[in-house]
């Protein structure tokens, strides 16, 4: 490989440039840390358990089509409305909602139960959803669709624009690093961008199919790792390494 001549290295940059780079890397590093914490707080609890898991990602991006909380009716019948109907009626309502609330069963099977057990409150107490009305009940049985297309489009483009700016400057600063082969450097610089695309693509794929949830985690982990390596080696080469060579020179004399 052709020997590259590197005129600027992180170690021999002038003090003002070093402080500029350092200030930027420090804020970005802190920002990445906060982003990690925020993901833990918002998505991390999506499945009701602390800590980020594949389930959290599935619940956040895919919606929960099976299980206890797939619609408002489900979650209420598992929650505060649990004791308002005998277990077999409750199960009947749950199964009906799970089957997609078919209209064919409404008049014959479901409405009579609702009228008997739910209407005393729901059709009479002001402010309560009148679920004896099919249109109102339809709202309650709608499945949680996960992140909507509109919301995903919005966060996708903000994420791509914003984050690529971060990686651009982190990568640029890192081009002045020494001690890495050009190829290693190139890979480290490109990795965050690649994982950024994987990350955003995986949000969409998870919406289609929950099995893609692990890609979200790999994507996020991948670009955090690559930028951590670049940030720390850049800071090290600007401040610690010059100090060490300076000391070594002192002791030689």
Interface residues with ligand HEC (CB under 6 A)? 72-73, 76-77, 80-81, 84-85, 93, 117-118, 120-122, 128-129, 131, 140
The least CB distance from residue 80 to ligand HEC, in Å, is: 3
- What is the nearest approach in angstroms of ligand HEC to the Cβ of residue 136? 8
> Of 122 and 207, which CB lies nearer to ligand HEC in the complex structure?
122
Smallest separation, CB 86 to ligand HEC (Å): 9
Question: Which residues on neighbouring strands pair with residue 71, listed in sequence order?
Answer: 143
Query: At its nearest, how many Å lie between ligand HEC and the CB of residue 95?
Result: 13
Nearer to ligand HEC, 122 or 185 (CB): 122
Give me the least distance between CB of 145 and ligand HEC, in Å please: 17
Burial class of residue 114 (count of CB atoms within 10 Å of its CB; 0-12, 13-18, 19+): buried
User: 14 or 108: whose CB is closer to ligand HEC?
Assistant: 108
Nearer to ligand HEC, 72 or 207 (CB): 72
Cβ(230)–Cβ(189) under 8 Å? yes
Closer residue to ligand HEC, CB minimum distance, 120 or 179: 120
Q: How would DSSP label each residue in the chain?
A: -PPPP-S--TTTS-HHHHHHHHHHHHHHHHHHHHHHHHHHHHTTTTTSSSS--HHHHHHHHT---SSTTSBHHHHHHHTTTGGGS-HHHHHHHHHHHHTT--GGGIIIIIHHHIIIIIHHHHTTSTTS--TTSHHHHHHHH-B---S-HHHHHHHHHHHHHHHHHHHHHHHHHHTT--SS-HHHHHHHHHHHHHHHHHHHHHHHHHHH-GGGHHHHHHHHHHHHHHHHHHHHHHHIIIIIHHHHHHHHHHHH-
Nearer to ligand HEC, 140 or 201 (CB): 140
User: CB 65 → ligand HEC: shortest distance, Å?
Assistant: 18
């Amino acid at each position: 490989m052709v020997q590259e001549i590197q005129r600027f290295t992180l170690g021999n940059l002038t003090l003002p440039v070093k402080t500029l780079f350092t200030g930027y890397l420090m804020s970005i590093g802190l920002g990445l840390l906060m982003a990690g914490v925020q993901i833990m707080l918002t998505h991390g609890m999506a499945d009701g358990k602390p800590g980020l898991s594949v389930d959290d990602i599935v619940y956040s991006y895919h919606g929960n089509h099976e299980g206890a909380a797939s619609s408002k009716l489900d979650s209420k019948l598992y929650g505060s409305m649990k004791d308002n109907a005998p277990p077999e009626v409750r199960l009947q309502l749950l199964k009906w909602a799970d089957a997609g609330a078919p209209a064919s069963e409404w008049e014959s099977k479901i409405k009579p139960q609702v009228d008997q057990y739910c209407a005393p409150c729901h059709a009479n107490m002001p402010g309560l959803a009148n679920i004896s009305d099919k249109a109102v009940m339809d709202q309650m049985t709608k499945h949680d669709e996960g992140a909507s297309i509109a919301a995903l489009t919005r966060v996708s483009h903000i994420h791509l624009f914003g984050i690529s700016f971060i990686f651009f400057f982190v990568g640029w600063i890192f081009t002045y690093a020494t001690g890495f082969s050009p190829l290693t450097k190139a890979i480290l610089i490109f990795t965050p961008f690649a994982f950024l695309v994987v990350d955003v693509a995986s949000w969409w794929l998870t919406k289609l199919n929950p099995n893609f949830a692990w890609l979200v985690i790999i994507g996020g982990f991948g670009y955090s790792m690559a930028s951590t390596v670049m940030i720390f080696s850049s800071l090290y080469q600007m401040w610690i390494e010059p100090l060490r060579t300076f000391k070594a020179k002192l002791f030689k004399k």
